[in-house]
């Protein structure tokens, strides 16, 4: 069992054998947001260091509707449903919430949180390595073509300046890390699902990385990585992310909801909207890679179903 597994699962490394600790026992007196933030920062790994480092500056990007069109966890759940790992009724409910999200252009916290909880709970009993492999396939076949190129270009400017770029999302950290790796970003902060001996328990470490928990994760990461938050930037579409935006020296709104747009205007923050007239070109996945991902997905789905029956 790796140290990352232990951090995510809350295993004591004292030579006494695997022992899961409850969040309250590990961080007495700390809020769920603080625990979720600390767990996310502990699980975050540097995927792509910048070639010309500017060690004290960085940028933090929300994912859903900021970097990716729609809710990433819904796309992930749809991929699981295609592999018979998610029921049609569950997917239909998530689809309705996704339509609401797309039409309104803003998050309903209850809807998005319920969808994420459902998807995270559903992986209970599955091996972390199997779900990570599925995340790779589902990203390639159903998410890569939903990336806003305008937001990707914003991130690229930071990378070219030698700054690190981190995703910060309530999406599971495994999926968030794959998105970051595919796009050449530094890494990702995401919701940490508890695992024991390489298998998911269906519980979360500290809760979802949402709202104030994102700010807690960024603070913890800044301490670990030596970032000066006054020199850092943050990008989001939602007023739910104001704690994250107000934490850094250079906040910006991307495809903002009405509340965030109003706050950005009042504060003089930059506003980027890539939705108007579908101006943004979406990064396409090469056909050959997509075909390979689909073929791999079928094989993985069969294997998981056989294991579930066994």
Catalytic residue among 14, 33, 54, 62: 62
Q: Is 25 left (phi over 0), alpha (psi -120 to 50) or beta?
A: alpha
Residues 146, 283: Cα–Cα separation, whole Å: 7
Angle at 150 between CA 147 and CA 153, to 5 degrees: 100
What are the C-alpha distances in Å from 218 to residues 157, 254, 290?
A: 20, 19, 34
Nearest residue to 57 via CA among 156, 164, 197: 164
Q: What whole-number distance in Å separates Cα of residue 118 and Cα of residue 301?
A: 19
| 54 carries an active-site annotation | no
Q: Which residues pair with 251 in a beta bridge?
A: 234
Out of 64, 237, 241, 257, which one is annotated catalytic?
64
Pairing of strands 233-236, 58-61: parallel
Calpha distance 55→157 (Å, rounded) = 15
Say what angle helices 212-225 and 32-43 make with each other, to 10 degrees: 40
d(CA 273, CA 275): 6
The tokens for 248 are 């850094």
Six token digits for residue 19 = 């022992």
The closest alpha carbon to 44, from 185, 156, 249, belongs to 185
State the residue for tokens 């819904």.
74
Active-site residue 62, yes or no?
yes
Q: How close are the terminal C-alpha atoms of the chain, in Å? A: 24
- CA-closest candidate to residue 203, choices 5, 40, 8, 6: 8
Q: Which two tokens stand for residue 280?
A: 């943004």
Task: Give the active site residues.
Answer: 62, 64
């Amino acid at each position: 069992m790796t140290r990352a597994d232990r951090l995510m699962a809350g295993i004591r490394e004292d030579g006494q054998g695997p022992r899961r600790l409850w969040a309250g026992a590990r961080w007495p007196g700390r809020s769920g947001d603080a625990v979720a933030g600390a767990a996310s920062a502990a699980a975050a790994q540097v995927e792509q260091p910048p070639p010309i480092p500017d060690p004290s500056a960085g940028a933090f990007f929300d994912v859903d509707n900021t970097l990716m069109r729609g809710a990433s966890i819904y796309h992930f759940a749809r991929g699981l449903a295609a592999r018979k790992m998610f029921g049609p009724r569950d997917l239909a409910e998530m689809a309705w919430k996704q339509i609401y999200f797309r039409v309104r252009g803003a998050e309903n916290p209850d809807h998005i949180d319920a969808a994420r909880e459902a998807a995270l709970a559903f992986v209970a009993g599955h091996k972390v390595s199997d779900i990570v492999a599925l995340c790779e396939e589902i990203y390639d076949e159903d998410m890569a073509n939903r990336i806003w190129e305008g937001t990707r270009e914003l991130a690229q400017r930071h990378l070219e300046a030698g700054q690190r770029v981190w995703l910060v999302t309530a999406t599971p950290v495994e999926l968030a890390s794959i998105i970051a790796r595919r796009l050449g970003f530094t890494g990702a902060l995401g919701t940490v699902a508890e695992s024991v001996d390489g298998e998911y328990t269906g519980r979360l470490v500290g809760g979802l990385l949402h709202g104030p928990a994102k700010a807690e994760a960024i603070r913890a990461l800044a301490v670990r990585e030596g970032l000066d938050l006054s020199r850092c930037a943050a990008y989001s579409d939602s007023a739910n992310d104001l704690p994250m935006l107000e934490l850094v020296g250079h906040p910006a709104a991307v495809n903002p909801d009405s509340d965030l747009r109003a706050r950005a205007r009042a504060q003089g923050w930059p506003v980027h909207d890539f939705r108007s007239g579908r101006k943004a070109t979406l990064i396409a996945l090469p056909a050959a890679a997509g075909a390979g991902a689909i073929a791999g997905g079928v094989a993985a789905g069969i294997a998981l179903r056989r294991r579930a029956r066994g």
